[in-house]
Every structure is written in structure tokens, then in C-alpha cells.
Amino acid sequence: MLRPLFLIALIAAAAGGAWWIVGSRMDAPRPALTIEPEAQDSPMPAILAPANQDPVTTPSPSAALQSKPLRSGREDLSALNQRAIEALEAQRYDEAVRLFDEARQGDPEEPVFQANLAEAYARWAVATADEELALAIERLEKAIVWAPGRAELVALLERLRTRLAAEADFVEDQSLHFTLHYDGDRADLLSRGYLEVLDDLEGAYQDYGEFFDVFPVEAGRPKFRALLYDREAFDNVTGIGEWAGGAYDGSIRVPVRNFERERGAIRHTLRHELVHAFIEEVGGKRVAGWLNEGLAQYLSFEGNGARANRVERARQRLAGQTLFSLTQLTGTLASLQDPARVTVAYDQALGFTDWLAVHYGERTLVHLVTATKGGEDPAARFLRLVGVELELVHQDFVDSL
């Protein structure tokens, strides 16, 4: 059935989204799930969940791939293993799985081949979970067969199965830059709600495209995915507590109890999480926590008046507090654990982001984000652009409180 401007279709059981974060400790840096608290007037308008708050786990980084000398000493199998590693690193998943399995069949007892085959299946599952959730589950099940001791893959499988069940009856609507997924039994969303959500997202997309000078979908990125859940389904899918009002893990996920009553908060949450999506597109997955959260707060408040009020309240709370150095705020802010200190970190991120925008221009903020994707330290980029040490500017901000 065609609706005005949008096409609705039942989401097949294979639909879903891949998770960003890992729930167990890994050897390499990783991005985190971003979360919007439910209370819009909270002193902490968004947090990055520490890894131990979310049980969802992604496969370990490429360091898990093994190319050590084989016990059999067979050079032909060693070369085959190396070819498979190269294919996997290039994200040619089907080729990597085929080559690793061929090597495994050549020496069924070699643990290196089994471990690498499991890694290939796991990465393939994560890479395709958004479009092929049911198939991703099958691939993850195969990964666990060859690596039964990897508890993080078992946790991920459980989470993907939960998502499959939660989203089985979802319907889909589309706009120019988004696909929106939600429960087809929700009359509040089926009537007009879905149009308003897509309109909110499209407006934010235009705002952020102009701010970052990047329009990701026009540049070839697939449409952004947004999913609306009832509260229980959101909690089950994300594994986050009742306090959370939204999350971004590669897809925007928002719980909706009563659409009309929560209208303003939903709009704000959608905007906030979309900032994180743009930052990942522009700067990659390792943008400093203070900059990532500072920008998400700075951009999600609509109108200079709302932003100015929020910044002023943050500055008032920071007065008299022991603040962090920028180095302490490069990682996931919520990993600080102490809720009071987390609040300080988020207020500090917003305040300093605003300080940079006022004194050095908003384009400087964009340059700091893009520096990360280019492999340049943001502080080095700032020094090159402005001729001043970023830490000195941060101290000026602290002294202004």
C-alpha cells in the first residue's frame, strides 16, 4: 500500500542493525553506544555508556587473526591462511570464509584455522546484521561452533535473537535520507506519528549537513536507520536501564511510550543521536569523547536561546568543581563511573565546545572532528590552524568559570 510520500512494507525477519560496542574487554580502542537520558531537562543530556553497561558484543579486532607458524609446517596451508586474512581485512567476507575453511579442511586439527574461521564468520555477521539479521544470526552460530569459548560472541548472538523477535512485526517507512522502523500495531505512529518523525529527521539532516559540510547519503552512504520501540522492547534490545531515552549504535533507537505526550523529547532525542551519526561519518569512530558529546549537546538544542540557556546552566554547575584535563576526556565519558563526575564531564564538554565555537568559530569544531578520521591528533590540527595550544585554550575556558 502506498502512502503519500512514503512506502510502507513489513520488515522481514532478516532486518536489523549492527551494534557498535563490545561488552567484554578488547585489545584495541572501540567506539561506544551513545545514549540519551529520558529526562530532557537532565543536567546530563546524553551519555556514552561504559562497555560494562551493555552486554552486546562485537567480534574482536584484527589482532585476533592468527598467522603464526603452523604445527604441521605445511607452507601451502600457511599461504592459504594468509590469503584468507588479507581477504578478511579487505572485508571480502565470503572469500575469507571459503579460504579459511579450505585451510581447515587441509588440516582439521589446526586451531589457527578454526579460530580464524570463527573470526571471519563473526565479522561477516556483524557487517550484515542491518540488512540480513536472520542470516547474520546463522553466521554467528557458525562462528560459535568454531570458537565455543568466545563468550562475547554468545552474548552478541543472544542480543541479535532478541532484536529479531522485537522487530519481527515492524513496518518500514522511508524518506529521502532515512528508513523508519516501528511496530505496525502502534496507531499513534501509523496515523501521523511516522510522518512527524521523518520530518524531524530530515530537518536535522539538513541542519547537520550544512554544519559539517557533508551530506552522507548524497555521498553514497545508505540511508540512516531509525527504530522506534515500546519501552520494554527498547530495554530488551539495547540492554540499557529504564533511565535511557535513546541510543545510537549504528542505528538510531528511541523508546516511545506515548507519542503525543513525549513529542518534544522524542524530537530532541532524534536530533541528538543523529549528531553522533554525522560525527562518525565525518570523523570516524574514535573522535574524542569531549568533542563527540560536546557537539551532540551543542547541536541538538534548537535555536540559540535554548542552547545559550543550556550552556549557562552547565557553566553554573561547573563553578567550584574540580574539572578534568582534555586528556582525561578523550575516551568514553561515562566510563568515569561516578555519576556526579560524569555530569561534570558532560557539562565540561558542552561548555568547552561552546567556548571554542564562540572564540574560534564553528568551522574549527568541524576541523577537529575531521582530523581524527585523517589520523591527525585534534590538538595538533588546532595548533596548526590557530597557532595556539588546545590545552591553553581549555585552561582559558576553565579560568572563565
Q: Give 283-325 pLDDT, tens digit per residue.
A: 998 899 999 999 999 999 887 799 999 999 999 999 999 999 9
The predicted pLDDT at position 67 comes to 59
* DSSP code string of 219-267: TTPPPEEEEEE-HHHHHHHH---TTEEEEESSSEEEE-S-TTTTHHHHH
What is the pLDDT at residue 244? 66
| pLDDT score for 70 | 56
Mean local confidence (pLDDT), 79-88: 91
Residue 209 pLDDT greater than 90, yes or no: yes
Res 137: pLDDT:
95
User: Is pLDDT above 60 for 384?
Assistant: yes
Ordered domains of the chain (ranges, CATH)? 1-55+158-286 (no CATH), 61-149 (1.25.40), 288-401 (no CATH)
Q: Is the pLDDT of residue 16 over 70?
A: no
Q: What is the pLDDT of residue 29?
A: 28
Residue 109: the pLDDT is 86
Q: What is the mean pLDDT of residues 157-174?
A: 89
**Contact criterion met (CB below 8 Å) for 137 and 164:** yes
Name which residue leads in pLDDT, 240 or 115.
Answer: 115
Q: Are 348 and 298 in contact, with CB atoms under 8 Å apart?
A: no
The mean per-residue pLDDT over the stretch 252-281 comes to 92
Give the torsion sign (CA, 150, 152, 155, 159).
negative
- Which pLDDT value is given to residue 65? 65
| pLDDT of 51 over the 60 cut | no
> Can you give the pLDDT at residue 239?
75
Are the beta carbons of 155 and 104 closer than 8 angstroms? no
Mean pLDDT is lowest, of 24-28, 225-229, 293-297, for: 24-28
Looking at 44-53, 165-174, 240-249, 263-272, which range is the least confident one? 44-53
pLDDT band at residue 20, thresholds of 50, 70 and 90? very low
Closest CA to 211 of 307, 278, 289, 304: 278
Grid coordinates in use for 262? 513525549
Predicted pLDDT of residue 50: 29
In the numeric block, which cell numbers belong to residue 377? 591528533
Tell me: pLDDT of 39 over 90: no
